[in-house]
């Protein structure tokens, strides 16, 4: 059975670790803003085993996210999805 998405530290002022899986087959880890728009894709690939990803807190274009609340979503082709809230704090 798939393991739920876990995120630490949360809230964060720097890199986050996100752990999930296995989901089986192709999977996608997306960071979404409150409007549901994808702002980052920290990981995409096969998830036959548990995965731990370190994410810098940057958008796909490399710019840092503003402080605020975001969502991490893990999904796969078979429709399994987990969503968790992330609080990103401005870097000191």
For residue range 23-76, list pLDDT tens digits in order. Answer: 878 889 999 999 999 999 999 998 788 889 999 989 999 998 889 999 999 988
The three-state secondary structure class of 26 is strand
Q: What is the pLDDT of residue 49?
A: 85
Distances (CA, A) of 37 to 6, 9, 50, 51, 85: 21, 23, 26, 23, 14
* Mean pLDDT along residues 82-89: 86
pLDDT class of 91 with cuts at 50, 70, 90: low
Asked if 9 contacts 88 with a C-beta cutoff of 8 angstroms, the reply is: no
Biggest alpha carbon–alpha carbon distance for the chain:
40
């Amino acid at each position: 059975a798939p393991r739920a998405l876990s995120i630490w530290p949360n809230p964060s002022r720097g890199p986050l670790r996100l752990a999930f899986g296995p989901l089986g087959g192709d999977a996608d880890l997306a960071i979404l803003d409150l409007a549901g728009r994808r702002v980052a894709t920290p990981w995409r690939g096969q998830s036959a085993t548990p995965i731990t990803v370190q994410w810098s807190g940057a958008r796909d274009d490399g710019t840092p996210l503003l402080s605020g609340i975001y969502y991490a979503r893990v999904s796969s082709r078979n429709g399994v999805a987990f969503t968790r809230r992330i609080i990103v704090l401005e870097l000191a």
